[in-house]
Amino acid sequence: MLTERIEGKWIDAFAEVFTLCGVGPDDVCAVLSETQSRSVNVQMSELALQRLGARPFHVVVPTPRTRAPVPVRSTGASDALGGYDAAVRALAGAVLVVDCTVEGLLHAAELGAVLSEGARVLMVSDEHPEILERLVPSTDLEAKVKVGIKMLQAASEMRVTSRAGSDLTVDVSSAPAAGGWGYTTRPGSIAHWPGGLCLCFPGAGTVNGRLVMDSGDLNLTFKRYLETRVSLEIVDDHITAIEGDGPDADLFRTYLDAWGDREARATSHIGWGMNPAARWEALTMYDRSQLNGTEQRAFAGNLLYSTGANEVAGRHTLGHFDLPLRGCTVTLDGEPVVVEGILQGALA
């Protein structure tokens, strides 16, 4: 049984990542948390910053009342800062914001204001510290993710196929490409730890085809490995049909239906995992309360398809699925970057 207590080795891991973020002596750094945050990560963030000679301060807000019709998990769209303009201003004045909110600021409405004065944000995923310890990022990963981002930026079409029956086409000619490797040194930017992703946010009406999730693929909103196939028909970005027998398809349908929001069925982002240290099977080793599933988004060679909010396409919703698939082939303008779940060329 893993416990959540302060360990010297975990402070070391936090300090190592903050060093990669360029934190130095006397840097004023904010630790952002809410009342439902994982307290051990909040405490170790402070201690690691002090170990580096930085000057940390805390911003703590009450976890807001749930507004969604169903439980919300792993969205990267925390609403904890809603209405706290003074807190946002305090965060914006920091050199580094260590984001320990439950859902994270990646898609939060207040992120732009936090970054507006040059603060950089490190979103510490809501994971047990053992997971973070295993996934301290490397500079080698940064270099490879940047190669993948450049490939996406230069491409016009992404195609996803698989032996399970996937055949999905994405017009990426005007889709902003992004990626992360677990840390950031650039003012006015955000990164998340664990990291290791290359992805894009497709424009409206640019995603069409069929995506087939096979046994062993993941539904990270449910923190669940699929046991049976689930087939998604996608027309102009939106899931129009969900086919499959058994609880996996039923759970998918009922959760989406509960939102009563067409945009919850829309494409948020699509890309692939880059992190060779991240493990597909690690979900089996932890209780659901101990992990957020960021590791499973990043394992090398997975196809990550996500539904929900997409600012590029003008869509906003709290409904969200992150769906990592194994065994897919991904091509950019006909050139393979992933073949049956294996990274290719300079990405390998």
Residue 318's pLDDT is what? 85
Instruction: Share the mean pLDDT of the chain.
Output: 96
Residue 110 bridge partners (DSSP): none
Full-model pTM: 0.95
pLDDT (tens digit per residue) in 227-247: 999 999 999 999 999 999 999
3-state helix, strand, coil in the chain (%, to 5): 30, 30, 40
Helices (DSSP H) in the chain: which residue ranges? Answer: 8-20, 39-51, 85-92, 111-115, 129-134, 139-154, 247-259, 294-298
> pLDDT exceeding 90 applies to what percent of the chain?
93
pLDDT (tens digit per residue) in 212-221: 999 999 999 9
Considering the segment(s) 8-134 as one domain, its CATH architecture is 3-Layer(aba) Sandwich (3.40)
Residue 1 has pLDDT above 80, yes or no: no
Q: How far apart are CA 303 and CA 219, in angstroms?
A: 12
Residue 75 has pLDDT above 90, yes or no: no
pLDDT (tens digit per residue) in 163-187: 999 999 999 999 999 999 999 999 9
pLDDT (tens digit per residue) in 22-39: 999 999 999 999 999 999
Residue 13's pLDDT is what? 98
Q: Span 340-348, mean pLDDT?
A: 97
Containing H/E element for 303? Answer: strand 303-307
pLDDT confidence of 160, banded at 50, 70, 90?
Answer: very high
At what angle are helices 39-51 and 8-20 packed, to 10 degrees? 60
> pLDDT exceeding 70 applies to what percent of the chain?
100
Q: Where are the domains of the chain?
A: 8-134, 139-177+195-347
Residue 2's pLDDT is what? 86
pLDDT confidence of 67, banded at 50, 70, 90?
Answer: confident
pLDDT (tens digit per residue) in 250-305: 999 999 999 999 999 999 999 999 999 999 999 999 999 999 999 999 999 999 99
